[in-house]
Amino acid sequence: MNFTPPSESSGLQQQRARIRELEAASRELDLGSARRSSLHAAVHSYAESVLSGLGDRPAYQADRSAVARLRAHPPGGPPLPAQRIIDLLEESVVRPGLLPSHPGHLAYIPGGGLYASALGDYLAAVTNEYAGVRFTGPGAVEIENIVVDWMADLVGMPPGNAGTLTSGGSLASLIAVVSAREAAGLRAADYEKAVVYSTEHVHHCLYRALRIAGTEDATHREIPMDQSGRMRTDQLARQVAQDRTAGLRPWLVLATAGTVDIGAVDPLDELADIAAQEDLWLHADAAYGGFFTLVDSVRPMFRGLGRADSVVLDPHKGLFLPYGTGAVLVRDRAAITRAHRSGGAYLQDVAIAEQTGPSPAAVSPELSRHFRGLRLWMPLMLHGLDPFRACLEEKLHLARYFHTRVSEMGFETGPPPQLSVVTYRWTAAGGDPDAFNRALLDEVLRDGRVFLSSTLIEGRFTLRMAVLAFRTRLATIDLALDVLAGALERTQARHPH
Ligand SMILES: *Cc1c(COP(=O)(O)O)cnc(C)c1O
Strands of 368-411, DSSP E: none
Is any atom of ligand 1 closer than 6 Å to the C-beta of 314?
yes
Q: How far is the CA of 73 from the centre of ligand 1 (A)?
A: 34
Burial grade of 112 (CB within 10 A; 0-12, 13-18, 19 or more): buried
Contact 165, 398 (CB under 8 A): no
Convert 455-480 to b/e letters by CB count within 10 Å (16 or more is b). Answer: bebeeebbbbbbbbbbbbeeebbebb
169 Cβ inside 6 Å of ligand 1: yes
Report the pLDDT value the prediction gives residue 349, as an integer from 0 to 100.
60
What pLDDT is attached to residue 30? Answer: 97
Closest atom of ligand 1 to CA, residue 259 = 13
Is 109 close to ligand 1, i.e. is its CB under 6 Å away? yes
User: Is the four-CA dihedral 125, 391, 426, 490 of positive or negative sign?
Assistant: negative
Q: What is the pTM of this model?
A: 0.95
- pLDDT tens profile 41-71: 999 999 999 999 999 999 999 999 999 999 9
Phi-psi label, residue 426: left if phi above 0, alpha if psi -120 to 50, beta otherwise: beta
Q: What pLDDT shows up at residue 342?
A: 80
Kind and range of the H or E run holding 60: strand 60-61
User: Looking at residue 357, what is its pLDDT?
Assistant: 62
Pocket test for ligand 1, best of 260, 376, 464 (most atoms within 8 A of CB): 260
Cβ contacts of residue 402 below 8 Å, gap of 6+? 422, 465, 467, 477, 480, 481
Between the CA of 348 and the centroid of ligand 1 the distance, in Å, is 36
Fold of 39-107+385-497: Aspartate Aminotransferase, domain 1 (3.90.1150)
Sketch the domain layout of the chain as residue ranges.
39-107+385-497, 120-383
Q: Indicate the DSSP class of residue 202.
A: S
Q: What is the pLDDT of residues 186-243, one digit of tens each?
A: 999 999 999 999 999 999 999 999 999 999 999 999 999 999 999 999 999 999 999 9
Are the C-beta atoms of 321 and 165 separated by less than 8 Å? no
What is the structure's pLDDT at 351? 60
- Residue of 12, 16, 34, 14 lying closest to 24 (CA atoms): 16
Is the Cβ–Cβ distance between 134 and 146 less than 8 Å?
no
DSSP structure class, residue 157: P
Ligand 1: centre distance to CA 423 (Å): 19
Rounded to an integer, what is the distance from CA 325 to the centroid of its chain?
6
379/388 Cα distance (integer angstroms): 10
- The distance in angstroms from the start CA to the end CA of the chain is 103
Cβ within 8 Å of residue 98, ≥6 positions away = 59, 60, 105, 107, 451
120-383 has which CATH code? 3.40.640.10
DSSP state for residue 38 in the 8-state scheme: H
168 lines ligand 1 (CB under 6 A): yes
**Residues 440, 292: Cα–Cα separation, whole Å:** 31
Among candidate residues 456, 376, 386, the one with its CA nearest the CA of residue 131: 376
Task: Confirm if 54 and 102 have CB atoms less than 8 A apart.
Answer: yes
pLDDT at 353 (0 to 100) = 43
152 CA distance to ligand 1 centroid (A)? 18
**pLDDT (tens digit, 0 to 9) for every residue of the chain, 497 residues total?**
556 565 668 999 999 999 999 999 999 999 999 999 999 999 999 999 999 999 999 999 999 999 999 999 999 999 999 999 999 999 999 999 999 999 999 999 998 999 999 999 999 999 999 998 888 899 999 999 999 999 999 999 999 999 999 999 999 999 999 999 999 999 999 999 999 999 999 999 999 999 999 999 999 999 999 999 999 999 999 999 999 999 999 999 999 999 999 999 999 999 999 999 999 999 999 999 999 999 999 999 999 999 999 999 999 999 999 999 999 999 999 999 999 988 777 766 666 445 556 788 889 999 999 999 999 999 999 999 999 999 999 999 999 999 999 999 999 998 899 999 999 999 987 889 999 999 999 999 999 999 999 999 999 999 999 999 999 999 999 999 999 999 999 999 988 65
